[in-house]
């Protein structure tokens, strides 16, 4: 085989292995600061370890520009917290939450209006992820049916019943070109989901949601005691690991502050 033929064969092999029209429609990804969380005891997330050790968590939202419109992944802590100089405490004082910047203000800074957002998806329905869903009352919300139907406190619905919603039962390719794919990863909550993105320059990235909270928990397959299902969490972590290997993808862990601090934040963006 000549060099040229070998090269073409290699190109064809690579093309066959690629997923359809990878990254066709996506060109920009912004990481937005959607709140800060601190806790006096890390062992809430690392059972039996780091007892009494304080921990800070990042809380990001991710905004993606696609040829068919803007897509928002997670909505963070409620913007109303930004107006409270001392933030708020949650879970009977276990967590302290502050919001140095609003989501609305960060969208404005890059010239994006709420009505420009074509689709929003949340990893799950904990308050640090759904705080601003109603900034986008007309926007289609993508959530797993198992999460949507999971009764909230006192049987309350997780979302406003009038909010447009697509209830998913598994994975979903948001714009149909493989560039933004919701991945079902139950365990942290009944209908938890993660996100696979295929960016033109950065390559494939998986956004964890809360399938895992910290890099160290990922490396050690550690499951917080308060998760809905330990078994499902472990299976979902393995599923993510398989996707990372297949896609040569990076794993961006939403609440890992050290990793998050090393990433570019809006108005800078990834391509």
Return the number of the residue (79 or 210) whose C-beta is nearest Zn ion: 210
**By three-state DSSP, how is residue 5 classified?**
helix
Question: Which range, of 75-83, 120-128, 214-222, 262-270, touches Zn ion by CB under 5 A?
Answer: 120-128
Return the number of the residue (34 or 141) whose C-beta is nearest Zn ion: 34
Kindly state whether residue 128 participates in binding Zn ion, applying the rule CB under 5 A: yes
Query: Are the beta carbons of 76 and 59 closer than 8 angstroms?
Result: yes
Return the number of the residue (33 or 210) whose C-beta is nearest Zn ion: 210
CA distance 212 to 219: 10
Return the number of the residue (210 or 247) whose C-beta is nearest Zn ion: 210
Closest distance between Zn ion and the C-beta of residue 126, in Å? 5
Return the number of the residue (77 or 135) whose C-beta is nearest Zn ion: 77
| Contact pick of 210, 232, 247, 256 for Zn ion (by CB under 5 A) | 210
Closest distance between Zn ion and the C-beta of residue 148, in Å? 18
Instruction: Quote the tokens at residue 93.
Output: 């004082």
Closest distance between Zn ion and the C-beta of residue 213, in Å? 7
Question: Which range, of 79-87, 105-113, 124-132, 165-173, touches Zn ion by CB under 5 A?
Answer: 124-132
Query: Are the beta carbons of 150 and 190 closer than 8 angstroms?
Result: yes
Q: Is 120 exposed, middle or buried (0-12, 13-18, 19+ CB in 10 A)?
A: buried
Query: Are the beta carbons of 213 and 225 closer than 8 angstroms?
Result: no
Burial 195-209 (b: 16+ CB within 10 A, else e): bbbbbeebebbbbbb
Closest distance between Zn ion and the C-beta of residue 15, in Å? 38
Return the number of the residue (210 or 232) whose C-beta is nearest Zn ion: 210
- The DSSP string of 187-249 is SSSTT-EEEEEEETTTEEEEE-TTS-SSHHHHHTT---TTSS-HHHHHHHHHHHHHHHHHHT-
Closest distance between Zn ion and the C-beta of residue 97, in Å? 11
Closest distance between Zn ion and the C-beta of residue 138, in Å? 25
Kindly state whether residue 256 participates in binding Zn ion, applying the rule CB under 5 A: no
Return the number of the residue (128 or 147) whose C-beta is nearest Zn ion: 128
Q: With contacts defined by CB under 5 A, how many residues of the chain interact with Zn ion? A: 2
Q: What is the dihedral of CA 140, 145, 147, 148, to 10 degrees?
A: 60
| Contact flags string 162-201 toward Zn ion, x per CB under 5 A | ----------------------------------------
Closest distance between Zn ion and the C-beta of residue 255, in Å? 6
Residues in the chain, overall count: 271
**Is the peptide bond between 84 and the residue preceding it cis, with omega within 30 degrees of 0?**
no
Question: Which range, of 48-56, 104-112, 126-134, 263-271, touches Zn ion by CB under 5 A?
Answer: 126-134
Query: Which residues here bind Zn ion, judged by CB under 5 A?
Result: 128, 210
């Amino acid at each position: 085989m000549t060099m040229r033929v070998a090269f073409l064969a290699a190109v064809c092999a690579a093309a066959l292995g690629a997923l359809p029209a990878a990254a066709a429609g996506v060109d920009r990804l912004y990481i937005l600061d959607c709140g800060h969380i601190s806790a006096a005891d890390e062992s809430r997330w690392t059972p039996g370890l780091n007892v009494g050790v304080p921990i800070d968590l990042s809380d990001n939202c991710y905004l993606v520009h696609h040829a068919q419109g803007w897509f928002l992944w997670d909505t963070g802590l409620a913007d109303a917290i930004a107006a409270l100089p001392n933030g708020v405490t949650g879970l009977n004082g276990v967590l302290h939450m502050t919001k140095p910047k609003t989501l609305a203000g960060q969208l404005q800074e890059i010239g994006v209006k709420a009505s420009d957002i074509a689709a929003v998806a949340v990893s799950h329905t904990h308050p640090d992820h759904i705080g601003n869903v109603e900034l986008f009352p007309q926007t289609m919300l993508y959530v797993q049916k198992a999460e949507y139907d999971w009764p909230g406190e006192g049987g309350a619905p997780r979302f406003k019943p009038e909010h447009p919603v697509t209830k998913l039962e598994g994975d979903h390719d948001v714009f149909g070109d493989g560039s933004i794919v919701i991945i079902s990863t139950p365990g942290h909550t009944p209908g938890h989901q993660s996100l696979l993105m295929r960016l033109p320059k950065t390559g494939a990235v998986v956004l964890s949601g809360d399938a895992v909270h910290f890099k160290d928990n990922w490396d050690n397959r550690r499951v917080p005691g308060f998760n809905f299902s330990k078994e499902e969490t472990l299976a979902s972590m393995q599923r993510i690991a398989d996707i990372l290997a297949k896609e040569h993808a990076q794993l961006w862990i939403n609440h890992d502050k050290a990793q998050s601090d090393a990433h570019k934040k809006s108005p800078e963006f990834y391509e």
